[in-house]
Amino acid sequence: MVEIPKSHPRYWSLYYRERIIEGMEKGMTAKAGLIAHGRGEAFDYLIGEKTIEPAERAMRAAVAKFLLAKHPVVSVNGNVAALVPKETIELAKALNAKLEINLFYRTEERVKAIAEELRKHGAEEILGINPTKRIPGLEHERGKVDENGIWKADVVLVPLEDGDRTEALVRMGKFVITVDLNPLSRSARMADITIVDNVVRAYPRMTELAREMKDYSREELLGILEEYDNGKTLSDVLLHMRDRLTRLAGEGIWRRKELE
Ligand code: ATP
Ligand code: MG
């Protein structure tokens, strides 16, 4: 990995860029994944590169749903394996969920490379290596899912997901949770719960929440879900962006070193 000076004002952004490039070099991340990452970065600028309140709210609801699930599954793709391999395993463990490799650009080599990376970080059971089922309405490679994973799951977390597949999963009757920095994307609009945050911030926070909430009663968890409104969350994200841009425009950004 290219060494980035810690003193660089954009250190973390450059660091994760290098991680994505490294993911591609390891055969995990697709070329299109690099482009998707760039789109994510752009939206991260708009929210202010921090976890905003609507995302925190969505994460609490997502964790509540997971803790109530019968067959919860956390899906892993090439970008996620490059950015948060260890955090994905910790999150799945904290949520008592199965891990499934599920790729938009599925090739056996990429599946193998991702499985290897996950094992290196301590994953035991990894689903999606020999998927035998297909999501109805999606063509062959894009639709493959594991019989013991997404196929029978009631709740699925599909981060950085394609909108068409998100919609197909919703049509199958799955409760779909996504992490997507773009609140306008089709996935963001189709999911049952949309966490508009960078996956590198969202996963550690969700793991924390899972550990904190695992002793909540069923009633408490159901109450959190009852109160949750994904439409309102998405609107609040848009309003956050608007208000922030309005404020920054008023304050002025020219030659300003830091933005809040
Ligand atoms: P669609 O409208 O079909 O959902 P899309 O814009 O979501 O398309 P994809 O490439 O399928 O495009 O999905 C990648 C999504 O993941 C993008 O919306 C992008 O904003 C988001 N994304 C990229 N990197 C991250 C990240 N690190 N954390 C969270 N979201 C990210
Ligand atoms: Mg998407």
Q: What is the pLDDT of residues 205-250, one digit of tens each?
A: 999 999 999 999 999 999 999 999 999 999 999 999 999 999 999 9
| pLDDT tier for residue 1 given thresholds of 50, 70 and 90 | confident
Q: One-letter amino acid identity for 220?
A: E
pLDDT of residue 140: 76
pLDDT of residue 141: 82
Q: Is the pLDDT of residue 192 over 80?
A: yes
Q: Which of 72, 122, 120, 135 is nearest to 99 (CA)?
A: 72
- CB-based neighbours (< 5 A) of ligand 2, an ion: 163, 185, 187
Whether 93 and 119 have beta carbons less than 8 Å apart is answered as no
Q: Is the pLDDT of residue 3 over 90?
A: no
DSSP state of 146: -
| Cα separation, 63 vs 99, whole angstroms | 16
SS3 112: helix
Tell me the per-residue pLDDT of 128-140, one tens digit each, with 9 for 90 and over: 999 999 999 898 7
Whether 253 and 259 have beta carbons less than 8 Å apart is answered as yes
Q: Which of 185, 189, 206 to mutate to test the pocket of ligand 1 (most atoms within 8 A of CB)?
A: 185
Length of the chain: 260
Stated pTM of the model: 0.97
Tell me the per-residue pLDDT of 53-103, one tens digit each, with 9 for 90 and over: 999 999 999 999 999 999 999 999 999 999 999 999 999 999 999 999 999
For residue 35, give the ligand 1 atom closest to its CA. 10
Q: Which of 32, 8, 29 is nearest to 20 (CA)?
A: 29
pLDDT of residue 47: 98
Strands 98-101, 133-134: pairing kind:
unpaired
pLDDT of residue 2: 82
SS3 75: strand
| pLDDT tier for residue 34 given thresholds of 50, 70 and 90 | very high
Strands 193-195, 133-134: pairing kind:
unpaired
Q: Which of 66, 148, 138, 78 is nearest to 107 (CA)?
A: 78
| pLDDT tier for residue 28 given thresholds of 50, 70 and 90 | very high
Is the Cβ atom of 168 under 6 angstroms away from ligand 1? Answer: no
For residue 42, give the ligand 1 atom closest to its CA. 20
Compute the radius of gyration of the chain from its Cα atoms.
18
Mean pLDDT, the chain, rounded, equals 96
Q: Is the pLDDT of residue 142 over 90?
A: no
Is the Cβ atom of 187 under 6 angstroms away from ligand 1? Answer: yes
CA of 87 from ligand 1 middle (Å) equals 19
Percent of the chain residues past pLDDT 70, beyond the cut: 100
Q: One-letter amino acid identity for 138?
A: L
